A = this chain, B = another copy of it.
Amino acid sequence: MSNVVPVDTLISALGCIGLLDQQAVELLRALPLRLRRYDAGEHIVRAGSNPNESCFVVAGFAARGQYLADGGRQLDQIHISGDFVDLHSLHLHRIDHDIIALGTCEVAHVSHEHLGSAMAQSGRLTWILWQSTVLDGAAARTWVTCLGRRRADAALAHLVCELLIRLERRGLTKKESFRFPGTQGDLADMLGLSVVHINRTLAELRRLRLLEWSHNEVRVLDWERLAEFADFDDSYLGAGRPMPRWFTKPAHHHPATIRRFTNGREGVATD
């Protein structure tokens, strides 16, 4: 499972977002990593902590989630191999969510200090890491739409669509099937449903011959119909915009110009 250099999974994943140049790749390779294997259900990061390091998934799956006062749990994001899981901790005082291993999960931890040193030397790397946090946010908003306005079957289908596309881009699928170690209980916590209903909904998708799912192996039988059924649009998973020149090269100063409020068309400032 880990016969490749761990950081290569990260490099390959970031490369899907935007072009990494040679320098950025070398800076990433030079990062000191602390590697650790987590068992299913184990906590990788705990809410309330204030870590001085971030981590990315080397192999397996991790999920981000929150626990409620009543003991309930909501998972709101899945991280696959290569994903930088909690880059957020760079920016947040107090981590507001838990990261949990789905199945066995291999994770690499990087100190903020070393990560920062690398970013300081490569504006391109900074840009792509920022971008990865923005794409995470876009995925979270799409998740909101699934929970709020889709029925259970379409939401589950949407989740499968997202996983397939993301894994495919990392070369982690065989044909249109992939391994996914989450239990039906995990799925329930992702979609805000009960275990029982996940089971029935899954049975429904099987009955419709949209997919097969057994022994942690998911096979999409009819991608077109599944995507149609889920009302799936992959644009929120897209690559980022290329880094603009101005991000690393300061430009000249522009004088301020302000135009006044208008309805429908713009006017000229009067104050």
Contacts and interface: CB of A to CB of B under 8 A. Distances in A.
A254 B111 CA distance: 12
B256 A91 contact: no
Given A248-B120, A254-B117, A240 B133 contact: no
A233 B233 CA distance: 33
Contacts of A149: 68, 72-74, 192
Contact of A145 (B36, B66, B126, B235): B66
A214 interface: no
Contacts of A162: none
Contact of A254 (B114, B142, B246): B114
A96 B235 contact: yes
A258 B148 contact: no
Interface string A130-167: 11011111101111110111100000000000000000
A88 B138 contact: yes
Given A88-B138, A254-B114, A96 B236 contact: yes
Interface stretch (A26-34, A173-181, A204-212, A215-223): A26-34
Contacts of A36: 261-264, 266
Interface string A101-127: 000001000001110110111000010
A148 B74 contact: yes
B39 A142 contact: no
A46 interface: no
A141 B35 contact: no
Interface of A: 2, 5-7, 29-37, 39, 64, 66, 68-70, 72-74, 76-77, 88, 90-94, 96-97, 106, 112-114, 116-117, 119-121, 126, 130-131, 133-138, 140-145, 147-150, 189-192, 231, 233, 235-236, 238-241, 244, 246-264, 266
16 contacts: A31-B254, A31-B256, A68-B145, A74-B149, A88-B138, A91-B135, A97-B141, A114-B254, A117-B252, A121-B250, A130-B133, A133-B133, A140-B141, A144-B144, A147-B192, A149-B192
Given A92-B238, A116-B246, 8 more contacts: A35-B262, A74-B144, A88-B137, A88-B138, A93-B240, A94-B238, A116-B247, A121-B250
